[in-house]
Amino acid sequence: MLIVDDEAAHLKALCSTLQLDGFETTGFQSPREALAHLIPGRYELLLTDLLMPGMDGIELLQAARAIDPDLAGIVMTGHGTIDTAVAALQKGAADYIQKPFKLSALLPVLGRALEGRRLRLENAALQERERQRTAELAAAYQDLEAFAHSVSHDLRAPLRAVEGYCNIYVDDYGADLAPRARELIDHVVAGAQRMDRLIEALLRFSRYGSQPLRPERVRLDPLVRRVVAEASPGDADIHIGELPDVTADPVLLEQVLVNLVSNALKFSRHRRPARVEIGSKPGSAGRGEPAEHEFFVRDNGAGFDPAYADRLFGVFQRLHPEKEFEGTGVGLSIAQRIVQRHGGRIWATSTPGDGASFHFTLPSRP
């Protein structure tokens, strides 16, 4: 603690008494000597008299805060200078105390000032961490954009060359190839095509994770009916229940519905008939409007082992062989990413051979 008071006896009494209470004190009668002694970080608190010759307490406080912005300040004032003490508060003092005062009255004021300083420092540290985190996220986003550009151009070019040269080889020499040789060439082409599909899926996953949200009021019923009309093969039994309007990004929400509906149709296509149900449930209880809306897409398809439900939403994670059900294993991870960016949740339940049910929530308010 830095104590400044032009009255020598009062200064000595303050320093001695506060040292007995555990404070490390340094006292000066001259404000300018105190400023000359002040360096950033040396003191936590400045206790200064308000009326002093040459420089008053407000000027001293402002000068001290210019040297060390983290310094807390308390002004000591007489009965007749309350207005000036209030001005000191407006200039950055943490508090003031009237003379004459007892130690029992001063200690709580000191405690409040030090606590306020601690909170300010913690808040500043938190803001700095947030700033650094924001900078890291911005850098990560730039790295992701660079990676996506590299994947889409640098990696796909040689991949297409592999497929192209294989096709040229087959066109020129296919008639002379032994069946086993032709089978191996076909495997190379199929592998290149699958890798190209995986790269495209990875780019979609990246794009839907970084695309800015543009929420608006969305009429969900016509949106779902359009998605179903475009995705349905025509022989599936699809039931659409009552669907409330929501606030969401319509483009991203449509992608969630496309992924879930196409997923349900794909895994139920061997059923006769294939059945898909799309609907909503009451959300979490709240006053008036529920806190969230819950939606589901159910099918009577192949289902999955619930022990592996957590793997469903991982990138490139599949629970069925590709030769049985095509796909890259990215659609559900895209749906999860979009739902989470809206502040919602997504999960799935199933019994093997008895269909699956995918649920997701959206906040009732943006």
Report the pLDDT averaged over residues 285-301: 76
pLDDT digit string, tens, across residues 110-163: 998 899 889 989 998 999 999 998 888 877 777 766 777 676 677 778 888 898
Which helix (H) or strand (E) covers residue 337, if one does? helix 331-341
Residue 25 has pLDDT above 90, yes or no: yes
CA 329/CA 276 separation, integer angstroms: 20
Query: What's the gap between Cα 286 and its chain centre?
Result: 25
Least confident of 241-255, 285-299, 343-357: 285-299
Residue 248 has pLDDT above 80, yes or no: yes
Residue 326 has pLDDT above 70, yes or no: no
Spatial strand order of the sheet with 95-98 comes to 26-28, 2-4, 45-49, 72-77, 95-98
Check residues 100 and 335 and name the one with the higher pLDDT: 335
DSSP state string for 179-194: HHHHHHHHHHHHHHHH
Residue 284 has pLDDT above 60, yes or no: no
Predicted model pTM: 0.53
pLDDT digit string, tens, across residues 182-224: 989 988 988 888 788 777 767 777 777 667 788 899 999 999 9
Ordered alpha helix ranges (H), 100-219: 103-149, 156-173, 179-210
CA 117/CA 45 separation, integer angstroms: 9
CA 360/CA 260 separation, integer angstroms: 10
Check residues 178 and 321 and name the one with the higher pLDDT: 178
Residue 27 has pLDDT above 90, yes or no: yes
Q: Of the candidates 259, 214, 223, which has an alpha carbon nearest to the alpha carbon of residue 244?
A: 223
User: How many residues make up the chain in this entry?
Assistant: 366
Q: Of the candidates 97, 57, 46, 101, which has an alpha carbon nearest to the alpha carbon of residue 76?
A: 97
Q: Does residue 71 contact residue 64 with C-beta atoms inside 8 Å?
A: yes
CA 121/CA 320 separation, integer angstroms: 54
